[in-house]
């Protein structure tokens, strides 16, 4: 297979409003489907590690093994290194990597994990093929991605309908697929996994309490105005600054609703590589 390099653009970037969300993530709230398969001795590759909060949890769970955490963006790896250092973890290392062309030999890792990655890459099937290649026989590829079109909220808010439409257009213009969650099993089969070896599940994040609504709505209101996503929305001709301000206001208005509720659906796949 000819080598493929990353062609998509990461829609969100690493603005504070984005990292506010990423640093909230843990193995418990973002990788629960994988945890029963982890063993203390395992060697794990964590792809798209971001600021490293899930990475650190995985390193604690495989305390007799090792975690290699990689990301396409060198800058965010400094945050990940700091997270590991703060938690006193000695069994983790970090590197820059492209999931389409991983710089590791065949059959290297017991588990290859990626959270919220495939929705942002140019060739998710190639990415899964690479993840499969570097997994040891009998090991697992574990992937979880949100599905934007399946996100739902209450009460109805036309401004949030506009947000969803805009986000999907910007993401696809950047080369990604925002409705990745529903496609993961199909992509895994195309990447060479047997259907019997792919366990597909789903799980949600739900934001409904006053604190949860305030946190979720504030980070999206800020992200809409100040992140790389905002720059790509205006720079790509998808929205004006005025339209972005209207979307940001809609997020804050929804967050102030006492009856507000928001659910984020995720698709998950746990794929065993045949021995």
Contact 46, 54 (CB under 8 A): yes
For residue 155, cis peptide bond before it (omega within 30 degrees of 0): yes
Going by pLDDT thresholds of 50, 70 and 90, the confidence category of residue 14 is low
- Give the Cα separation of 92 and 63 in Å (integer): 10
Q: Is 238 left (phi over 0), alpha (psi -120 to 50) or beta?
A: alpha
Q: Which residues of 243-261 are buried (b: 16+ CB within 10 A; e: fewer)?
A: ebebbbebbeebbeeeebb
Handedness of CA 152, 180, 38, 78 (dihedral sign): negative
Q: Are 110 and 43 in contact (CB under 8 A)?
A: yes
113-145 confidence digits (pLDDT tens)? 999 999 999 999 999 999 999 999 999 999 999
The pTM score is: 0.93
pLDDT 10s digits, 223-241: 999 888 889 999 999 999 9
Kindly report which listed range (11-15, 23-27, 125-129) carries the lowest average pLDDT score. Answer: 11-15
């Amino acid at each position: 297979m000819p080598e493929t390099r990353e062609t998509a653009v990461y829609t969100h970037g690493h603005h504070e409003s984005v990292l506010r969300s990423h640093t909230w993530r843990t193995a418990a709230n973002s990788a629960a489907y994988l945890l029963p398969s982890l063993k203390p001795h395992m060697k794990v590759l964590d792809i798209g590690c971001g600021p490293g909060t899930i990475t650190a949890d995985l390193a604690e769970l495989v305390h007799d093994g090792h975690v290699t955490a990689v990301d396409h963006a060198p800058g965010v790896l400094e945050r990940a290194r700091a997270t590991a250092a703060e938690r006193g973890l000695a069994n983790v290392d970090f590197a820059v990597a492209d999931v389409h062309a991983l710089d590791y030999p065949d059959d290297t890792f017991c588990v290859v994990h990626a959270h919220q990655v495939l929705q942002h890459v140019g060739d998710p099937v190639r990415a899964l093929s690479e993840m499969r290649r570097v997994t040891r026989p009998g090991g697992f590829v574990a992937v979880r991605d949100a599905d934007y079109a399946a996100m739902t909220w209450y009460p109805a808010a036309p401004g949030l309908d506009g947000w969803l439409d805009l986000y999907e257009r910007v993401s696809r213009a950047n080369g990604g697929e925002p409705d990745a969650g529903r496609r993961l099993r199909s992509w895994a089969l195309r990447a060479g996994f047997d259907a019997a070896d792919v366990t597909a599940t789903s799980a949600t994040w739900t934001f409904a309490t006053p604190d949860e609504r305030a946190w979720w709505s504030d980070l999206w209101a800020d992200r809409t105005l100040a992140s790389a996503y905002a720059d790509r929305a205006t720079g790509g001709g998808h929205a004006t600054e005025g339209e972005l301000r209207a979307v940001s206001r809609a997020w804050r208005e929804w967050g102030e609703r006492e009856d507000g509720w928001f659910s984020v659906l995720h698709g998950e796949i746990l794929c065993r590589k045949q021995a």
